[in-house]
Chain A
Amino acid sequence: MSAPLRLAVPRGALFGETLDVLDGAGVDTSEVRGDSRSLIFETEGMTLVTVRPSDVPTYVEAGAADVGITGKDVLLEQSDRPVYELLDLGFGRCRMVLAGQKGSDRLGESQRSLGTMRIATKYPRIAERYFESTGRQVELIEVKGSIELAPLVGLSDGIVDLVATGRTLKENELEVREEIVECSARFVANRVAHKLRASEIDELTAKLREAIRR
């Protein structure tokens, strides 16, 4: 008998809804919900490991987790990691957008007079593909947090970032200029596990599909 299926659960913004959906699919998440500092949780027939959302593709690609849940934004940014994207779980909905300062034409001005724009982002690969596909030259500035600050202090002309409610943008006097892609939480599987543990993964996929329909 092989080891129980190992599932990577994203800590952070998707954590709560991920656990709700797993509950709906009959996975016992009560221990994960406790305030234990543990990172590994054994439940009936399944092992849950909690990791950063952006690390989920890493664990799943390597087979250290057989399946996982993470945002489409993470999958797009790490599209070179081959994992099976099995299901759109529907929650954690947000948009990847290009935003600029409210009432300012700085983005357009840079484009017209310099032929390029300076864009700050945590998602350099998504941003690069987007501007390339729309035939524009940009200088990408990768920052790790508080992207909204970059245009305010002149680090960049605009930002590419994930927007859920738009409140953070508003509070920083920024506005959405272009929508790049819609994102939501996805259920993913390791390529080999998907073949070799087909019935377990298919069963979990079906249960998750059922859980999000309710």
Chain B
Amino acid sequence: MIHPIPPGTRDVLPEEMRELRRLQTALLGVFDERGYGEVATPALEYDEVLTHGGGRGDHAAYRFFDESGDLLALRSEMTVPIARLVATRYGQAEPPLRFCYIAGAYRAVNPQRGETREFLQAGVELIGAPAAGGTVEVIEVLEAALDAAGLSSAVIGLGDADLYRDLLSELGLGEEVGEKVLARLAAHDLVGVEEELDAAGVDGGGAEAFLALSQLRGGAEVLEQARSFGAEAATRAAERLTDVNDALGSRTGGRRVQFDFGLLRDLDYYNGAILEVYDPAVGRVLGGGGRYDGLMRRFGLDLSAAGFALNLERVHAAQIEERRRGEGGR
């Protein structure tokens, strides 16, 4: 007798569960060793709390009314719930605060794409540690987590969330036009970016610099190249990233870091450094994060913050794929 489950959800059977549990234990070990205390928050929150996240990404795909008529929603990630938790429970605590989690999150998906409505995230939040030191600590934890997961070829792309907002206002573009350009950029449509800039009357040189900047990625040498564009926004972003690079260099971290001026995250609470994790063995992004100083302010706390989240199921898939490659094959 087959009793169906909704598309985009799944059962986990013992063989996979054993491997997932081993991965979780390894990650929690890394987080715990570095002083990140594990927390759990309810999967259901008041919709109003989750809307604090804002942004292009839908903050909650599943909403419903409870028995007293309040609007509830399933969380789509853990950063906003933890910001809420810190504001409520640790308002008077001495920063920095360190928390980690392994938790389910819920998003609307295209189930035929192998995306899931319910997926497991493993991540940390470092609250009250400003840039660049805080950013560097988060990167180091992430590197250790990737080591613990055995992903030897995973790379961390590091970019800057303020770059394009600043650059568009430097080009004198209004909010409406700027949003159009950003939407094209977020869709990775460079041909469209060029068309929008052209339609907005940005001259050829300005558009070319904008596009070249969005393609600038690589080792520390690109930090110098970014300054050569002569755009103040690019120079400021390069300075912020250089600070992170210097701080990484003075410690042991940074082996996996690649700088990427084309990076954009789809949540608008980020500012300053943002990051994404890739593995050459899989064509998808394994996780991401960055600084979100502004988010804590939305919850009434003037604290800087940074963190990351890894998609556990994708990390697991990358483990298997790296193992296959190690045994030969592509």
A interface residues, Cβ below 8 angstroms from B: 2-3, 61-64, 72, 79-80, 82-88, 186, 190-193, 195-196, 198-199, 202
* A63 CA / B285 CA spacing, docked (Å): 11
Say yes or no: A199 contacts B218, CB within 8 Å.
yes
Say yes or no: A87 contacts B190, CB within 8 Å.
yes
State the Cβ distance, B330 to closest chain A Cβ, in Å. Answer: 5
**A83: chain B residues within 8 A (beta carbon):** 188
Q: From A62, which residue of chain B is reached at the shortest CB distance?
A: B283
* A3 CA / B153 CA spacing, docked (Å): 14
Partner pick for B279 among A80, A191, A192, A199, CB 8 A cutoff: A192
State the Cβ distance, B240 to closest chain A Cβ, in Å. Answer: 20
**B157: chain A residues within 8 A (beta carbon):** 195
Q: Which 5 A-B pairs have the closest CB atoms?
A: A63-B283, A84-B188, A85-B189, A192-B278, A88-B191
**B192: chain A residues within 8 A (beta carbon):** 85
**A64: chain B residues within 8 A (beta carbon):** 283
Say yes or no: B190 contacts A192, CB within 8 Å.
no
Say yes or no: A63 contacts B218, CB within 8 Å.
no
Q: From B184, which residue of chain A is reached at the shortest CB distance?
A: A85
8 example contacts (A-B, Cβ-Cβ < 8 A) are as follows A2-B280, A63-B282, A80-B110, A80-B113, A83-B188, A86-B191, A87-B191, A191-B188
B228 is an interface residue with CB less than 8 A from chain A: no
State the Cβ distance, A37 to closest chain B Cβ, in Å. Answer: 22
B34 is an interface residue with CB less than 8 A from chain A: no
Say yes or no: B190 contacts A86, CB within 8 Å.
yes
Mask of B264-298 contacts with A, CB within 8 angstroms, 1/0: 00000000000010111011110000000000000
Say yes or no: B280 contacts A196, CB within 8 Å.
yes
**A63: chain B residues within 8 A (beta carbon):** 282-284
* A63 CA / B188 CA spacing, docked (Å): 16
List CB contacts (< 8 Å) of B281-319 with chain A. 282-285
**B279: chain A residues within 8 A (beta carbon):** 192
Say yes or no: B280 contacts A192, CB within 8 Å.
yes
* A79 CA / B183 CA spacing, docked (Å): 13
Chain A interface mostly? mixed
Q: From A197, which residue of chain B is reached at the shortest CB distance?
A: B280
**A62: chain B residues within 8 A (beta carbon):** 283
Contacts A80-B110, A85-B189 hold; do A192 and B260 have CB atoms under 8 A apart?
no
Say yes or no: A196 contacts B278, CB within 8 Å.
yes
B187 is an interface residue with CB less than 8 A from chain A: yes
State the Cβ distance, A212 to closest chain B Cβ, in Å. Answer: 13
* A202 CA / B212 CA spacing, docked (Å): 10
* A83 CA / B284 CA spacing, docked (Å): 11
Say yes or no: B330 contacts A3, CB within 8 Å.
yes
B41 is an interface residue with CB less than 8 A from chain A: no
**A191: chain B residues within 8 A (beta carbon):** 188, 283-285
Contacts A64-B283, A80-B110 hold; do A195 and B190 have CB atoms under 8 A apart?
no
B98 is an interface residue with CB less than 8 A from chain A: no
* A190 CA / B280 CA spacing, docked (Å): 11
Say yes or no: B215 contacts A192, CB within 8 Å.
no
B258 is an interface residue with CB less than 8 A from chain A: yes
Contacts A3-B330, A195-B155, A195-B260 hold; do A84 and B282 have CB atoms under 8 A apart?
no
Q: From B284, which residue of chain A is reached at the shortest CB distance?
A: A192
* A11 CA / B283 CA spacing, docked (Å): 23
List CB contacts (< 8 Å) of B224-280 with chain A. 258, 260, 276, 278-280
* A40 CA / B215 CA spacing, docked (Å): 29
Q: From B218, which residue of chain A is reached at the shortest CB distance?
A: A198
Q: From B189, which residue of chain A is reached at the shortest CB distance?
A: A85
